Chains A and B, each alone.
Chain A
Amino acid sequence: MTEDRRPKELFVIPSSEAPTDASRVADFTPDLIDVGEHHLCPGCGEPIAIRAVMDAIALLGLAEKSVAVFGIGCSTAFSNNLDVEVLQALHGRAPSVATGVSRVRPGLAVFTIQGDGDMANEGLQEVLHCAARGENIVCIMLNNGVFGETGGHLTVTTTIGQRTKNTIEGRDAAKHGHPMRIAELLAQIDGVGYVARGAVNDAGNVARTKRMMVEAFTAQQQGLGLSFVEVLTMCPTGWFVPTDEAPNYLAETIAGTHAVGVLRSALPSSPSD
């Protein structure tokens, strides 16, 4: 083994045991994630986004009446790790399954977790019609612009210039078409109560995304119609960038097209805007 090359003046503080004269401000996994271990790639943004969702549910005290409906994608890896009821839908169909749950049990906090490939490519009409019907559910789209689970090819949200396995030189509008902005698309539909786009590329955006989740579930609980939160997540594997460069790649290549912010809110005030 080669010698550790860190400068000698860096003093490492022991970090294997909890101190006794301190208060805990963040635990390894939040209350509603039973198992932190997952098989997603290093640097993946999806677990960070799912933690924001579960933190919001815990904060609002909705754990016992929450039902998650997972689509198909990398994030499905979390369907066994959460301490809420979980249903598994087919590709793109999660909003319709959630509609069924919500209609037979209207008091529940029903939400979907889907990737961009799942929601926007495989089943865009599902979420659009849910929005138009004003279904009282929360739809969450984890957007990395890549079909991560099925090989890393482009999706309809892949931005111009973004690398994926089949846009290796960057998406070119002349060859590959233009990206769709799903949050903007949904924000213009009358049945929605809340639409926002967050990101998990830095701690500030993670905190903002968590507030958006709280607002989305609050709107759902108030019966304001469909709540939609899109979260920009890192996929260093699919983008062919080193894991530590992925947050900047997201900010520079993706957030320019998919702008972070609250697009529509029927709540009296949206502090995360």
Chain B
Amino acid sequence: MSKPQQVRGTVVIDVEACKGCDLCIEACKPEVLAMTTAETNTRGYRFPQLLVGCTGCRACADVCPDFCFSVFRFDEPKTWTAESGLQ
């Protein structure tokens, strides 16, 4: 059983708009964004993926030059485990 983690927010990522600049990775305080290393969008750029633990702080959206992020805060915080995902 993996350790449950609280998740307060989430992001929708417009992968095709991304130019792979990494600014969101640096800006993300909970460190829940990670760039792909091999996978790219159709323009050939690496793009960020969301990991467990987003707080919905919107720092990624604030620093993104390519408008790739839409940020949400859950009405009630969720719990994530590897076995059951977000609940």
Q: Give me the interface of A with B, judged by CB distance under 8 Å.
A: 1-6, 10-19, 21-29, 33, 36-38, 40-48, 51, 200, 202-203, 206-207, 236, 242-244, 247
Contacts and interface: CB of A to CB of B under 8 A. Distances in A.
6 contacts: A1-B38, A22-B73, A26-B70, A40-B65, A51-B67, A244-B23
Given A4-B38, A5-B37, 15 more contacts: A13-B51, A13-B80, A15-B50, A22-B74, A25-B72, A28-B67, A42-B65, A43-B23, A45-B65, A47-B66, A48-B63, A51-B67, A203-B59, A243-B21, A244-B23
Contact of B61 (A17, A26, A33, A236): A26
A38 B21 CA distance: 14
Nearest to B18: A42
Given A4-B39, A26-B70, A36 B17 contact: yes
Determine which residue in A1, A2, A12, A203 has the highest number of CB atoms from chain B within 10 A of its CB, and name it: A203
A201 B7 CA distance: 27
A115 to B, nearest CB: 15
B66 A21 contact: no
Interface in B32-87: 34, 36-39, 45, 49-52, 54, 56-59, 61-76, 80, 82, 86
Contact of A3 (B38, B51, B80): B38
A83 B58 CA distance: 23
Nearest to A48: B65
B66 A36 contact: yes
A48 B54 contact: no
Contacts of B62: 26, 48, 203, 206-207
A41 B19 CA distance: 8
A11 B67 CA distance: 24
A51 B7 CA distance: 28
Interface residues of B, number: 51
Determine which residue in B51, B52, B65 has the highest number of CB atoms from chain A within 10 A of its CB, and name it: B65
Given A5-B37, A13-B86, A19-B72, A244 B65 contact: no
Interface of B: 7, 9-15, 17, 19-23, 25-27, 34, 36-39, 45, 49-52, 54, 56-59, 61-76, 80, 82, 86
B65 A44 contact: yes
Q: Is the interface of A mostly helix, strand, loop or mixed?
A: loop
A243 B23 contact: yes
Contacts of A206: 62-63
B21 A18 contact: no
Given A22-B73, A27-B70, A13 B10 contact: yes
Contact of A42 (B19, B39, B74): B19
A42 B67 contact: no
Given A12-B51, A26-B62, A244 B10 contact: no
